[in-house]
Structure 1
Amino acid sequence: MTPIAPLIETFLRDTLACQRGASRHTRDSYASSFQLLFVFAADRLKVKPSALTLEQIDAGLVSAFLEHLEDERKNAAVTRNVRLAAIKSFFRFLEYRQPAALEQIRRVLAIPFKKTDTRLVPYLLREELQAVLDAPDPATRDGIRDRAMLHVAVCAGLRVSELTGLKVDDIDLPSMSIRVLGKGRRERTLPLWKPAAAALRAWLAIRGQVATPEVFVNASGEPLSRWGFAYLLRQHAATAARKQPGLAKKRVSPHVLRHTCAMVVLQATGDIRKVSLWLGHATLTTTEVYTRGDPTEKLDAMEAIVPPHLRRGVFQPTDQLIELLRRTS
């Protein structure tokens, strides 16, 4: 029997972190997936998680775990696929480490991903966005910080990990630009709108000397976490909903701000390539989702299309006798 604890530790610390250079966010997501899997397996097999063996994590148990996610935890198919992707990555790592378990590994790798609905991306209207940006109190230290965070997040279309990981050295206020290390370790330089630059300048003026290099810090001088930013965003969205009632029906998350930036750039430029560069996407395929959500794209297409001619017709009422026979048949 092969203990699974040393294998998962090697995978997370050596393979993901050192060999693949995966980001901390990716490693945290993988670790969360394995934590859920091992807690489920330990409860099902009546053993401690640390006592689990590789032979026990077979295709049947993994499939039962995926059903547990959807049925018991009420996770969506997208979340199920994320967990399965982490598990498959680990089992591909095991292919060359545990050749004796190759048949078991291949059965786990054969578990299919679940099809998901392709929905329109959620984003904020201009009035809703302005209400969220105006929600922080500019007369308080936290309000100045939050206002700068929101403006920079929307202006640059940052992922929450990019926002919380932004460092003071990444900011060039004279040129009103920031340098962002994005997904896949791809760097990009983004310009700041004047309101965003002004809000960021106001925060840096009162940020003070703290040990951490991150721009946005909490009251203790430590880097603000992505969960902390999500919590603050929910608070400000609730405040903004008093002015814009439509916000109460929307789930305003950090990624919704990123989607909103993409829609603003698309509507301003009409060029999906510029949206892709702005967001730091690896391919245009990822960016095409925004063209489905932008109604102006369809309106432009309608104006350029000559619709086919509608042939005129004359309505002829049905003969009374024939209609009588139809009703009685």
Structure 2
Amino acid sequence: MTLLAPLITGFMRDYMPRQRGYSPHSCEAYAYSFRLLFAFAAKRIRTMPSQLHIEQLDAALILDFLVHIERERGNGATTRNLRLAAIKTFMRYVEYQVPSALEQIGQIHAIPVKRHDQKLIRHLIMVEVRAILNAPDLTTRLGVRDRAMMHLCFAAGLRVSELVGAMMANLSLQRPPSLLVLGKGRKERCLPLWKETAADLRAWLTLRGSVRVPELFVNAEGTPMTRAGFEYVLEKHARAAAETCPSLRGRSISPHQLRHSCAVIMLQATHDIRKVALWLGHADIRTTEVYLRMDPTEKLEAVEAVVPPELRRGRFKAPDALIASLLADISPPPA
């Protein structure tokens, strides 16, 4: 029997960050998945998590765990598949550490992902984006900061982690203005900025002050802006914008909806899914294809480009009302 604790420690502290180069955010997401799994396994086996053995994490237990997070925690199929992906990644690491568990690990790898409905993702139209960006009070320091944050998130199509992680050193307001972004998988991309976005950033930099942190955006205490902090700022201004934009009423606006909105507007302008993928920093263009399902203009162009078949036309002649009533009254003879 092989203790689990040394294996997960080596996986989280050496394999992921050093050997594979995973970002701190990815390591945190994996760690959360394992906390859930180990707490479930310890309760099921009636032991302490630190006393678990890798041999106890068999395919049957993993399947029970996946059912548990769906039924008890209310997780959807997408979250369930993410937890399973984290477990399989860990098991690939265990293959080299504990060769005797290869058969057990092979059974876990055979657990399929769960298929689910892929609904259209929600996004904002330009009128709604404009209403949200106009909501902050530009006569205050925090209002100027909020406008600059939301404008940059939308215009650059940033993930919230990319926004709060944006560095002063990576922003250039010289012509043409641009921002160097460190995205998923440690992939850098350089994004040019609209002059309107650059103007909002210049306004914020004049009020930012001598804050001793490298991040571009800071909170009221002068420390780096957090994900939760930006989500609060966006939700606050979305509620204010709903007073002048009725379509925003009753909706919960997330930072990722600004990213989706940028992608849809860019696709409508360029009609090139490859440019959208490049802008968003997608490693696989199949990830970007979801926006093709969202944008009806692409389908309208396809319909207009096809010549419909010429069909013979006829005219329907309704039967006489008296004859129709007699036919309805006739019942079939009994068998």
Shorter-normalised TM range = over 0.9
Structure 1 Cα separation of the partners of residues 136 and 324 of structure 2: 75
1:22-41 residue pairs with structure 2 within 5 A?
A: 22-41=22-41
Q: Distance in 2 between the 1:327 and 1:78 partners?
A: 57
Report the counterpart of residue 66 of structure 2 in structure 1.
66
Corresponding position of 2:188? 187
Identity of aligned residues (%): 56
Q: Secondary structure at the match of 1:328?
A: coil
Change (3 A) 1:136 1:47: farther
Q: CA 1:226–1:327 in structure 2 vs 1: closer, same or farther (change >3 Å)?
A: farther
CA positional deviation for 1:154: 0.4
Aligned mates of 1:66, 1:115 — CA distance in 2: 14
Structure-1 separation of matches of 2:40 and 2:236: 34
Q: Whole-Å Cα distance in 2 between the matches of residues 232 and 38 of structure 1?
A: 35
1:324 to 2:327 alignment = yes
After superposition, the C-alpha distances for 1:84-121 in whole angstroms (9 at most, x for unaligned) are 10011001110110112222211111111101222212
Distance 2:106 2:30 in 1: 20
What does residue 83 of structure 2 align with?
83
Displacement of 1:318:
4.9
Tell me the distance in 1 between the aligned counterparts of 2:173 and 2:319.
77
TM-score, normalised to structure 1, is: 0.94
Q: Give the secondary structure class of the aligned counterpart of 1:114.
A: coil
Measured after TM superposition, the shift of residue 125 of structure 1 is: 1.0
* Unaligned runs of at least 5 residues, structure 2: none
Residues 145-294 of structure 1 mapped to structure 2, 5 A cutoff: 145-174=145-174, 175-294=176-295
CA distance in 2, matches of 1:186, 1:110: 31
1:41-70 C-alpha deviation (Å, 9 max, x unpaired): 222222222222212222111111111111
Q: How many residues align?
A: 329
Judged with a 3 Å threshold, the aligned counterparts in structure 2 of structure 1 residues 103 and 134 are, in CA distance, closer, same or farther, namely same
Distance in 2 (alpha carbons) for counterparts of 1:49 and 1:283: 37
Q: Distance in 2 between matches of 1:43 and 1:132?
A: 47
Aligned-pair RMSD on alpha carbons? Answer: 1.9
Q: Structure 1 stretch 89-98 or stretch 319-328: which is displaced more?
A: 319-328
**Residue segments in structure 1 that go unaligned for 5+ positions in a row:** none
CA–CA separation in structure 1 for the residues paired with 2:250 and 2:117: 21
Deviates more, 1:243-252 or 1:104-113: 243-252
Deviations 1:3-40 (A, max 9, x none): 21121111011111000001111111101111111122
- CA distance in 1 between counterparts of 2:168 and 2:329 reads 81
